Amino acid sequence: MLGVLGRFQDSSPRIVFSGNFASPSYLVDLACKSIEDFKLFTLNAQHVFPIPNGIVLETPFVGPAYRERKDWLSYIPMRLSLVPRLLNTTHVPDIVMLNVSRVIGGRVSLGIEVNLMVAAIEEARRVGALVVAEVNSYMPYTYGDGEIDLDHIDYCIYHDEKIASSAIGALDEVAMTIGYNVAGLVGDGSTLQLGIGSIPNACLDALKGHRSLRIWSEMFSDGVFELEKVGALDHSVPIVASFIFGSEELYQWVDLNPRIQMRRTEVTNDPSLISRNPKMTSINTAIEVDLYAQANASFVRGNIYSGFGGQTDFIVGALHSVGGNAIIALPSWHSKSGSSTIVARIQAPVTSFQHSALVTEWGIASIFGKSQSEQAVEIIDNIAHPDARDSLRIAAEKMQLH
């Protein structure tokens, strides 16, 4: 394989590889040993690779591994539903690297990370780029768009490596209260999309008493598995997602499970398809929201922290769903900085806007259909931390939001 990769030594290739917890670390390490100058394109990289300085790290969604290498980071602002379009326009791959399941019936599965990798493989085959895969017995075999014929892969390396996991930690009182408040906005029979982190996990935990819930989401974690265990999910419809982020137990559950249908990003994140789900409810979080009901979920102290992800796709889809709801949930206070997460006006680039409700541990601001001034009053009175309300009211007066 070193020889195969070595032929790209002088061409500064773009390597597109599976992101999140499915990164093919062995193959990426080989690339670092074989090629001096290249670009690495992925989503939400978790594994910290020993990447030489000078290698360009491209991503529309910054994960921990890329966050540590700001000097070489090339962040591409892009909602997740449009990222596959990058691969056949401005960011065409020269090499595609996959972490796939064991072979079953002449096929392998992309497992927990379908996402944009189907589009990457298709584009690689169109332009004659190289497709290589780690065949990993620890990777779950999941059904759906991520089942790939071996004929579509140029080289396979059999390399077993446990899939890294992210188990649910203990939920604090603030997160649990937020989850309870969100659950009050979700009716039985709703379709759910949730992101990553303690707030989405708390929301799922608070929904265990609901029934006939459905999942159509860009991703899911252990909280969905817990809903399945307690009978909260509608068994007549599959669980649809594009990637999975969770524990080893979760990975074992999804392996060869026909309930789980993994779809490519262009399907899961298409707002028109999202909107067809009954009572589509998107539940996302943010770093801060302002009195115009705008949310920043991407920037911290002026630096890119993550990216759009699927938040914008699902907010639009949910708002166009019959009975749908687009919720942003967050703590009202940032304990480390001792500051309010509800601000007068966001100074960073805005991630999303025009939600139907904002939720903190203090309550719910129902903002759909409200005027600018009414929105501001809802936000200050219902979700801002009490210590921030007076200053926010003064700011609202100056902004003529009264």
Q: Name residue, tokens 């599965």.
A: 109
Catalytic site includes residue 134: no
**What pLDDT is attached to residue 2?**
61
**What pLDDT is attached to residue 275?**
98
Q: How far apart are alpha carbons 2 and 190 in whole angstroms?
A: 50
Q: How far apart are alpha carbons 242 and 178 in whole angstroms?
A: 26
Q: Which fold has domain 173-398?
A: Glutaconate Coenzyme A-transferase (3.40.1080)
Look at residue 167 and give its three-state secondary structure: coil
Q: How far apart are alpha carbons 272 and 58 in whole angstroms?
A: 28
Strands 107-109, 147-149: pairing kind:
antiparallel
CA distance from start to end of the chain: 66
- Residue 261, strand partner residues: 143, 240
Architecture of the domain delimited by 2-158: 3-Layer(aba) Sandwich (3.40)
N residues, the chain:
402
Say which of 147, 218, 266, 288 is annotated catalytic: 218
Q: Which amino acid does the sequence have at 207? A: L
Domain boundaries, the chain: 2-158, 173-398
CB atoms within 10 A of CB 321: 24
Per-residue pLDDT of the chain (402 residues; tens, 9 = 90+): 667 776 777 789 999 999 999 999 999 999 988 888 999 999 999 877 788 888 999 999 999 989 878 889 999 999 999 999 999 999 999 999 999 999 999 999 999 999 999 999 999 999 999 999 999 999 999 999 999 999 999 999 999 999 998 766 778 999 999 999 999 999 999 999 998 889 999 999 999 999 999 999 999 999 999 999 999 999 999 999 999 999 999 999 999 999 999 999 999 999 999 999 999 999 999 999 999 999 999 999 999 999 999 999 999 999 999 999 999 999 999 988 899 999 999 999 999 999 999 999 999 999 999 999 999 999 999 999 999 999 999 999 999 997
pTM score, whole prediction: 0.95
CB atoms within 10 A of CB 217: 26
Asked if residue 78 lies in contact with residue 90, where contact means CB atoms within 8 angstroms, the answer is: no
Q: Name residue, tokens 């780029």.
A: 129
Residue in 61, 62, 17, 21 with CA at minimum distance from that of residue 39: 17
**What pLDDT is attached to residue 337?**
86
Look at residue 374 and give its three-state secondary structure: helix
Q: How far apart are alpha carbons 36 and 52 in whole angstroms?
A: 8
